Amino acid sequence: MPQFETLIIGSGLAGLTLAIKLAERQKVGLITKRSLLDGASGWAQGGIAAVLSENDTLDAHIQDTLTAGAGLCDEAVTRYVVEHGKAAIDWLIDQGVPFTKDSSTDVGYHLTREGGHSRRRIIHAADATGHAVQETLAMRVLRHPNITVLENHMSVDLITGRKLGLEDNRCYGIYALNSLKDEVVTISAQNIILATGGAGKVYMYTTNPDTSTGDGIAMAWRAGCRVANMEFIQFHPTCLYHPHAKSFLISEAVRGEGGILKLPNGTRFMPGHDERAELAPRDVVARAIDFEMKKHGLDCVYLDISHQSDEFLQEHFPNIYARCLSLGINISKEPIPVVPAAHYTCGGVVTDLHARTDVENLYAVGETAYSGLHGANRLASNSLLECLVFADAAVRDILNKPPHASPLLPAWDESRVTDADEQIVISHNWAELRHFMWDYVGIVRTNKRLQRAQHRIQLLQDEIGEYYTNFHISSDLLELRNLVLNAELIVQSALLRHESRGLHFSKDYPDTLANPQPTILSPGIC
């Protein structure tokens, strides 16, 4: 049985940061269900928001975050994250992350501006910040003698005291499916950290990678953790619309550098929806695009940055420029076809300022967690910042804890299951789930649509539960099981919010309440 002082589940920015910092004093295990770099962090284009310039202030960044969050950000958490922003960026620079330099600024790096920000404060590595950060940190993880990386290991479930028949409900380890050997292994650890990302694949159209199946949220819920604000799914306004472009994001920074949203006839429409026009927060822009597409019967709208020079575009957006050009779109001469797509899970597992969950020894960091930072709508480029700041908070909490005795963990029991005779049930249910979530629980919602989705979710859960109980598990089955549970949490949360706020817009409750509260769901212990 593999044993670690701390086990990290997930290899995005949160997971890699945790591993590097903890390995200074601990033996660390890091498992990821595919390869080390297969995660959403590596897809981040825009950058990381932090107060770095003399022309910016902590209060301005805090206020921008609170405004975007539409009254549901935890102000103390927001201040904590913003105040630790510069230290987080300095740490990345020390690790060797190649941020884009600019000698004309007072910080020596180019800072861009994105929707919802009142200042230029986004530090970036061209238009592939996530990739640059992940590549840099992954090399350090792979070379560290105190870090064991287990790729192609899909978490099945957490092992808690309650599940072992003990009086406490601490987390002692996990069961994980080794996908290459098709066997379930038991892994023991003093501390377990969920850094598995969000649940974007619950929707038909998403900017997320295939790994974003809400695994950490589902496992934490089954272990007895509360979740919060799952109704707030951020739809990125500008995903490339092209039959051969799967989940390719057109960065917020394109609008930050002057990109204009237009109808097919060239008419600009954002000023008619919000005085901030293209620089309004993402929820506003996504709803505006959705409105215009439905009003005019459009498959997409267009983002025009062609007024910038070819040299400017290749310098600031080399990956977007090259990807679009490979599909026959020259962004220096023609607009980019775009549509909204599911992008970020603003809710998640409830945590405190130390990233601790309701289950002792279990932590959650990044998109898996609900820290209180994002409220009803995440401010652009605050996500990677949250990963860095709360990873550091979790590290300090873990290193200050005394060790505890762990029981002997039982092996995975599959003595009463058989091989599945066919896999069509999994693929069919996966497709059905993503279709009806897009149709019924998308950018604009109604009670009737939500209730239809809820009914279908229950039918799917019954089928999947029977399949999980009777047959050998697979990665596809585990991901589907977790996605359906995330869908249930999203719909249940949406039905409980009787107002429209931020990313949740209901035709039945179009008004905004005066005293908003987070939507907190509490599970029974399974």
Q: Which residues are catalytic?
A: 282
Distance, in Å, from the CA atom of 346 to the CA atom of 88, rounded to the nearest integer, reads 21
Distance, in Å, from the CA atom of 197 to the CA atom of 366, rounded to the nearest integer, reads 7
Distance, in Å, from the CA atom of 173 to the CA atom of 163, rounded to the nearest integer, reads 11
Which residues are CB-contacts of 400 (< 8 A; sequence separation ≥ 6)? none
Q: Which long-range contacts (CB under 8 A, 24 or more apart) does 409-415 make?
A: 409/1, 409/159, 409/164, 409/172, 409/173, 409/186, 409/188, 410/164, 410/186, 411/186, 412/156, 412/175, 412/184, 412/185, 412/186, 414/184, 414/472, 414/473
Token pair in block for residue 57: 């202030």
Least Cα distance to 78 among 389, 504, 521, 393 occurs for 389
**How does strand 183-194 pair with strand 362-364?**
parallel
Give me the residues paired with residue 350 across strands. 370
Altogether, the residues listed in the chain come to a count of 526
Distance, in Å, from the CA atom of 321 to the CA atom of 316, rounded to the nearest integer, reads 9
Contact predicate 225/524, CB 8 Å: no
Distances (CA, A) of 320 to 85, 102, 240, 316: 27, 21, 10, 9
Least Cα distance to 221 among 485, 28, 480 occurs for 485
Please work out, in degrees rounded to the nearest 5, the angle formed at the alpha carbon of residue 167 by the alpha carbons of 165 and 168.
105
Distance, in Å, from the CA atom of 42 to the CA atom of 513, rounded to the nearest integer, reads 37
Contact predicate 29/437, CB 8 Å: no
Give the chain's end-to-end CA distance (angstroms, integer).
Answer: 24
Distance, in Å, from the CA atom of 263 to the CA atom of 240, rounded to the nearest integer, reads 15
Amino acid identity, position 38: D
Amino acid identity, position 508: D
**How does strand 336-345 pair with strand 233-240?**
antiparallel
Give me the residues paired with residue 234 across strands. 344
Token pair in block for residue 257: 């550098």
How many CB atoms neighbour CB 431 within 10 A?
11
- DSSP class of residue 241? -
Which residues are CB-contacts of 119 (< 8 A; sequence separation ≥ 6)? 53, 55, 56, 60, 61, 113
